[in-house]
Amino acid sequence: MDIPSKTVRELYRTMVVIRAFEEKVQDLYARGHIPGLAHLYIGEEAIAAGVCANLGDRDYITSTHRGHGHVIAKGALLKPMMAELYGKETGYCKGKGGSMHIADVNLGILGANGIAGGGLPIAVGAGLSCKMKYPGQVTVCFFGDASSNNGTFHESLNFAAVHKLPVIFVCENNGFGISVSQKQHQAIVDISVRAAGYNMPGITVDGNDVLSVYLSSAEAIERARQGEGPTLLEYKTYRWRGHHEGDPNQGGRYRTKEDIQAWVENCPIKRLEAYLTKNKVMTKKQMQAVWDEVEKEIDDSIEFAEQSPFPPLEEMFQDVLA
Ligand SMILES: Cc1ncc(C[n+]2csc(CCOP(=O)(O)OP(=O)(O)O)c2C)c(N)n1
């Protein structure tokens, strides 16, 4: 299947927005503007962009603690996102959720999630509602390699397979769960082999190649839309930063400089830029214009967040469940 040039340009823009947003968050966090935790997705942008490009507003996603990329790719607005990171009243959760809990049900974003593996059963519930009430709609569930060891992973894949639910399980295998390498936490190399245990298709794809991500997820999503049930997609990638921004070594204690450098050179955005130039889809000037426009949008979101008020003290326990 050929991907239309318009779609390729949109994939590029989405990846640039995610990268530029997070580079700003990195800086703002270091300067103490953002409270709480921030887990950055830098280096993994091709997965969110490629998968979500196949979804509509009425489809659902569930996300993770590393969720900025997923929600941006699904259509979240930068202003309420940034305000949420700042803990401001104008944020997606009125400033009470922070980076890990951005949700917009109208856009099918059922929430980023601070619980590793927490999005899996939520996705299955949403998938069941798609099957029963909204045929043709699907749910995509993002989760990491370490989260695929949780009981929720096995129970969710089992339930989705038995009931042929329109759920696409997207494992972002960045090689680490906090500081523990995949080799130390799993006896398998490809997580996609676990699909066999649930009699669903499972494939492993280069997660830094946005075009391969787009095409492989298009196929799985179409299968789910047709009522043929779930798929397990594994995208191999790498996170450039530490597990979270509070790590003073930024992952330098458990990874070699050479490994990090090799993955930085394998940058998904650079790879797409090379494709765009080679195939004359965009010129360097047009690409630069995208960066400039996006930087402006992000600066506006920071201004919006900075000027917004904190939620009033008397609302501290409103909308909060515990
Ligand atoms: C149920 C649960 N156990 C442990 C944690 C602590 N924790 C937060 S993130 C994380 C590792 C997640 O790794 P992975 O799923 O591979 O995602 P990545 O951070 O690599 O994107 C852990 C163990 C948690 N948040 N929830």
Atom of ligand 1 nearest to the CA of 176: 20
Mean pLDDT, residues 171-192 taken together:
98
Residue 45, exposed/middle/buried by CB under 10 A (0-12, 13-18, 19+)?
A: buried
User: Going by CA atoms, what residue is nearest to atom 19 of ligand 1?
Assistant: 177
Q: What percent of the chain has pLDDT over 90?
A: 97
Distances (CA, A) of 93 to 96, 120, 193: 6, 21, 37
Mean pLDDT, residues 87-115 taken together:
96
What integer pLDDT is reported at residue 16 of this predicted model? 98
Per-chain mean pLDDT for the chain: 97
Q: Ligand 1 center to residue 241 CA distance, Å?
A: 15
- 190-247 confidence digits (pLDDT tens): 999 999 999 999 999 999 999 999 999 999 999 999 999 999 999 999 999 999 999 9
- 133-173 confidence digits (pLDDT tens): 999 999 999 999 999 999 999 999 999 999 999 999 999 99
What integer pLDDT is reported at residue 322 of this predicted model? 67
What integer pLDDT is reported at residue 321 of this predicted model? 78
Measured in whole angstroms, how far is the alpha carbon of residue 98 from the centre of its chain? Answer: 16
Q: Ligand 1 center to residue 120 CA distance, Å?
A: 13
Residue to substitute in 63, 143, 152, 176 for testing ligand 1 pocket (most ligand atoms within 8 angstroms of CB): 176
Residue to substitute in 45, 62, 147 for testing ligand 1 pocket (most ligand atoms within 8 angstroms of CB): 147
The answer to whether residue 1 scores a pLDDT higher than 80 is no
The pair phi, psi for residue 293, each rounded to 5°, is -65, -45
Say if residues 59 and 87 touch (Cβ distance below 8 Å).
Answer: no
User: CB within 6 Å of ligand 1 — which residues?
Assistant: 65-66, 114-117, 143-147, 174, 176-178, 243
- 33-89 confidence digits (pLDDT tens): 999 999 999 999 999 999 999 999 999 999 999 999 999 999 999 999 999 999 999
Tokens of 60: 């659902």
Q: Ligand 1 center to residue 73 CA distance, Å?
A: 22
What integer pLDDT is reported at residue 201 of this predicted model? 98
Q: Ligand 1 center to residue 176 CA distance, Å?
A: 9
Atom of ligand 1 nearest to the CA of 174: 20
Say if residues 226 and 284 touch (Cβ distance below 8 Å).
Answer: no
Residue 183, exposed/middle/buried by CB under 10 A (0-12, 13-18, 19+)?
A: exposed
Atom of ligand 1 nearest to the CA of 116: 26
User: Going by CA atoms, what residue is nearest to atom 9 of ligand 1?
Assistant: 116
Atom of ligand 1 nearest to the CA of 117: 1
Q: Ligand 1 center to residue 147 CA distance, Å?
A: 6
Q: Ligand 1 center to residue 38 CA distance, Å?
A: 13
Neighbours of 154 (CB within 10 A): 16
User: Going by CA atoms, what residue is nearest to atom 17 of ligand 1?
Assistant: 144
Could you tell me if residue 150 is left (phi over 0), alpha (psi between -120 and 50 degrees) or otherwise beta?
Answer: beta
Atom of ligand 1 nearest to the CA of 148: 15
Measured distance between the N- and C-terminal CA atoms of the chain, rounded to whole angstroms: 48
Mean pLDDT, residues 120-144 taken together:
98
Q: Ligand 1 center to residue 279 CA distance, Å?
A: 39
Does an H or E element contain 272, and which?
helix 268-278
Could you tell me if residue 242 is left (phi over 0), alpha (psi between -120 and 50 degrees) or otherwise beta?
Answer: beta
Q: Ligand 1 center to residue 245 CA distance, Å?
A: 15
What integer pLDDT is reported at residue 320 of this predicted model? 82
